[in-house]
Amino acid sequence: MRVIYNEQMGELATMLGEMAGMAGSAMDRATQSLLQADLALAEQVITESDRIAEMITLAEERAFALLALQAPVAGDLRQVVSAIQIVADVNRMGALALHVAKVARRRHPNHALPEAVNGYFAEMGRIAVSMGNTAKEVLETRDPERAAQLNDEDEAMDDLHRHLFSLLMDREWKHGVAAAVDVTLLGRYYERFADHAVEIGRRVVFLVTGVLPPDQDSADAERI
């Protein structure tokens, strides 16, 4: 039974890593569709979201089957519960990439973004894709030190988001209300994508060490 459990957990971990990588790839294509007003790329992200959804459902089924059939305790239970929570985070990452692609499609053939903010979103997209790849890596390697590094990338994302918000509040903003709404929503999508990647890192650290790192957002709020 123990051998079977280990094999099933290994398969589930591999699936989680693959899904995180798919979410990162989806955000990469979604960002390019946004910056280039590329309808074909946006449609590709939207179409492939079904594949991610299928894998999410399968991963959830496998995790709950492990919980029900193997009756894990102690460290084994920690692995299964963490896997269920990670599935939810990967699901949200994929959904956020989908939201970005849908904005690009809705505004096509026009660009959804004013040229003035393209640089912000190019960098936010780069960070988001990097974090998706890192999440995939730590799910496969279970390296707690590498998982903790996701916080550094998240801080860079948060800095960009704050600068972007400051730009929107500036009296010199000349791009209208509709563009401001799109930029606000899109900025939030990227920020939340990064937050879910960080949460995956926290869960991996918990998996390996048995200690859940503090939520960085909560810690920041306490310092403020």
- Give the predicted TM-score (pTM) of the model: 0.89
Res. 23: pLDDT tops 70: yes
The confidence score (pLDDT) of residue 88 equals 94
Confidence of residue 216 (pLDDT cuts 50, 70, 90): low
Burial 137-168 (b: 16+ CB within 10 A, else e): bbbbeebbeebbebeebbebbbebbeebeebe
The confidence score (pLDDT) of residue 217 equals 58
Average pLDDT in the 82-111 region?
A: 95
Res. 207: pLDDT tops 90: no
Confidence of residue 20 (pLDDT cuts 50, 70, 90): very high
The confidence score (pLDDT) of residue 34 equals 96
Higher pLDDT, 102 or 72: 102
Please state the length of the chain.
224
The confidence score (pLDDT) of residue 187 equals 96
We find that the CATH architecture of domain 2-210 is: Up-down Bundle (1.20)
Average pLDDT in the 131-156 region?
A: 93
Confidence of residue 2 (pLDDT cuts 50, 70, 90): low
Domain ranges (residues) in the chain: 2-210
Res. 9: pLDDT tops 90: no
